[in-house]
Amino acid sequence: MPKITLMMWYDTQAEEAANLYVSVFKNSKITGISHFPDDSTHGTPGGVMTVDFELDGQQYTALNGGPFFQFNESVSLVVHCKDQEEVDYYWDALIKDGGQESDCGWLKDKFGMSWQITPQILLDYMVDPDPEKAKRVHNAMLTMKKLDVQALQDAYDAK
């Protein structure tokens, strides 16, 4: 099987971003750092070019590619959370120091990477065989920034 790794393009903050991510997620680590050649005409000679890292066993690479490309919401990383405590932890850790809240459990970290902090209960309820329950949960989610597990539960249980 081929190995697939998500490559994330940063201006100059690849190492800082990778260090933040491995500090937030358990069972995570930096696995390698490459540097631009001393005679590089792209990037800082001798500076960090790529950072390979794992988040709970999933491999990623962060690249210092310069200011040419920016992240947007067309790609996001989904964090599956078991409860409100996990939602709060990941939301707070990824939004601090300059991140931005968005709607429906989405946020951008301070580097502009989009994340969806998603409780499992939402995913389960959105595919409930009762379309009215799924609709109530969906409508409740649309009113939220950080997702509120109890409010989703209340919408599911409403009559």
- Average confidence (pLDDT) over 143-158: 98
Which residues contact residue 28 at a Cβ distance below 8 angstroms, ignoring those fewer than 6 apart? 21, 22, 53, 54, 55, 56
Residue 2 and residue 22: Cα distance in Å, rounded? 24
> Which of 41-45, 58-62, 153-157 bottoms out in mean pLDDT, i.e. has the lowest?
41-45
77 and 64 within one domain: no
Question: Of 54, 69, 84, which residue is a domain's last?
Answer: 69
* Residue 103 belongs to domain spanning: 71-159
> Above 90 in pLDDT, residue 41?
no
Q: What is the pLDDT of residue 159?
A: 81
- Average confidence (pLDDT) over 44-66: 96
- Which tokens is 133 given? 């329950």
CATH code of 57's domain: 3.10.180.10
128 and 77 within one domain: yes
65 and 77 within one domain: no
Determine contact, residues 126/137, Cβ cutoff 8 Å: yes
> Above 80 in pLDDT, residue 45?
yes
Q: What is the pLDDT of residue 3?
A: 85
83 and 155 within one domain: yes
Say what angle helices 84-95 and 14-24 make with each other, to 10 degrees.
160
Measuring CA to CA, how many Å separate 136 from each of 142, 149, 157?
Answer: 10, 13, 9
Q: What is the pLDDT of residue 1?
A: 66
149 and 88 within one domain: yes
Question: pLDDT tens, 63-121?
Answer: 999 999 999 999 999 999 999 999 999 999 999 999 999 999 999 999 999 999 999 99
- Average confidence (pLDDT) over 32-37: 97
Determine contact, residues 29/22, Cβ cutoff 8 Å: yes
86 and 152 within one domain: yes
Question: Of 34, 69, 104, which residue is a domain's last?
Answer: 69
Give the pTM.
0.93
80 and 49 within one domain: no
Rg (CA), the chain: 18
Q: What is the pLDDT of residue 91?
A: 98
Q: For the chain, what is the domain count?
A: 2
Look-up of token digits 């405590």: 85
77 and 130 within one domain: yes
Four-point Cα dihedral 116, 147, 54, 37, nearest 10: 50
Sheet containing 58-64: order of strands: 6-10, 58-64, 48-55, 29-35
75 and 45 within one domain: no
